[in-house]
A and B are shown apart, each in its own frame.
Chain A
Amino acid sequence: GEDVEQSLFLSVREGDSSVINCTYTDSSSTYLYWYKQEPGAGLQLLTYIFSNMDMKQDQRLTVLLNKKDKHLSLRIADTQTGDSAIYFCAERKGNKFYFGSGTKLNVKP
């Protein structure tokens, strides 16, 4: 079945790196995603990784995928106050997305 888990909160200081972790249970997922949700807003796609990749980097964002442990992480370098939001990881099987509970990132100035 599909069970995606994330820690609920993360607090970092501005300028530090943030690492948000996610575990999933279904190894047949094709793509894994990271979305950002600001208060009262919809989902903004940050990045995604295909299940046969180990790493993907896009500017300040680095995604690491450990298929053996079914562990996905999102690293945000030089975290800014504007990065404060809820971050969701999601796995996609076919057309369906299965989301984690979201990690609330708080960036302190």
Chain B
Amino acid sequence: GAVVSQHPSRVICKSGTSVKIECRSLDFQATTMFWYRQFPKQSLMLMATSNEGSKATYEQGVEKDKFLINHASLTLSTLTVTSAHPEDSSFYICSAFQGAGGYTFGSGTRLTVV
């Protein structure tokens, strides 16, 4: 079946630094990937839609300059949290669209900003 890999699975960073999270589709090409954020004991909220070769589309209220998304190839999208602060601590999950194969979610990245 389709597999989406996220890396790293856990990361702890200092306040003010930037963190990059990778989302890879391992055995299929994904023209569209999605980034979600999950606060503790809450649901997942869509942050942005990432399209290969073009700019990401951000949901209302999501700062595009803070959450930089790059979808440079059909198998890789990256989310960079810039100048991270403790309130950015969260669980970030990506999803990749496989066409008729549907949507596959990654295993998630737990970000802790200290």
Contact = CB atoms under 8 A, between A and B. Distances in A.
Interface in B85-114: 93, 95, 97, 102-108, 110
A101 B46 contact: no
B101 to A, nearest CB: 11
Given A88-B44, A95-B97, A41 B34 contact: no
Interface string B37-69: 000001111100100000000000000000000
Contacts of B45: 99
Contact of B106 (A4, A42, A97): A42
Contacts of B42: 101-102
Contact of B43 (A41, A95, A100): A100
Contacts of A82: none
A42 B108 contact: yes
Interface string A62-97: 000000000000000000000000001000100111
Interface residues of A, number: 17
Secondary structure dominating the interface of B: strand
Interface of A: 4, 35, 40-43, 45, 88, 92, 95-102
Contacts, number: 45
B77 interface: no
B6 interface: yes
Given A41-B107, A42-B105, A45-B105, A96 B43 contact: no
Given A42-B6, A88-B43, A102-B43, A95 B34 contact: yes
Contacts of B25: none
